[in-house]
Amino acid sequence: MNTTHTGNLKQLKEEERPYEKCEQYGPEHLTDIELLAILLRSGTRGENVLSLAKKILYPIFSQEGILNIHHWTLEQLMQIKGIGKVKAYQILCLSELAKRLAKATAGKGLCFSSPDSIAKYYMEDMRHKKQEYMKLLLFNTRTRLIGETDISKGTVNASLVSPRELFIEALQKNAVSIILLHNHPSGDPSPSREDILITRKVRDAGDLIGIELLDHIIIGDNKYISLGEKGLLS
């Protein structure tokens, strides 16, 4: 048996085996690195699975820890020694599962008349994105969600967001009211001048055709700003 190969969990020193630690004490007693190591199962020749998990959670270019799971791309992961396509997809799926769990939890108390509730529901979907995305939420006469769509990707500004295209979508779905939702990759949800201009353009266009803009919510890093609550829709 090759004792120099420390790639998998069985070959780690007993006190370093995360699976055995989990079995004895429960998953809540494991570190983030140990939890990821169990999911990865094996490392590579010359580098054990704990070391590999640490590289994923604590790369030299970021100090975000476990949140780095959401920032890797398939190509970036496969550049790490010991990460092939299967492990890369495992990590991407873990990221997606975490987002869906957070969204499902927030969805239990979802109320579309509450900006706080809306922001919590879409927070994990949007706060990790590296580009700005704008969503259009469409509502019927009872303020029930009847559809949502991405209407802009990249820099969100008044010249790129077209009220015409936005309201064509709303009219096709027979919406009577809408909410705009977009993220700030900087993490700061404070509205820019462009954000306010977009809001006013959409509000004014909606007033002309009878579709009310209920709110424009900006998502930051675990925080948000509602332009409706700030009085910027009137």
Closest CA to 55 of 68, 45, 41: 68
Residue whose token pair is 């791309």: 73
- In order along its 234 residues, the chain shows pLDDT tens digits of 444 444 465 555 654 688 888 988 999 999 999 999 999 888 877 778 898 899 999 887 777 788 888 889 999 999 988 899 999 999 999 999 988 888 787 777 688 889 999 999 999 889 888 889 999 999 998 888 899 998 877 765 544 677 888 899 999 999 999 999 999 999 999 999 999 999 999 999 999 999 999 999 999 999 999 999 999 887
CA 131, chain centre distance (Å)? 11
With beta carbons less than 8 A apart as the criterion, state whether 227 and 197 touch: no
Residues 6+ apart with CB under 8 A from 145: 112, 137, 138, 139
Phi/psi for 233 (5° steps) reads -100, -10
Q: How far apart are CA 119 and CA 200, in angstroms?
A: 21
Residue whose token pair is 């790639």: 7
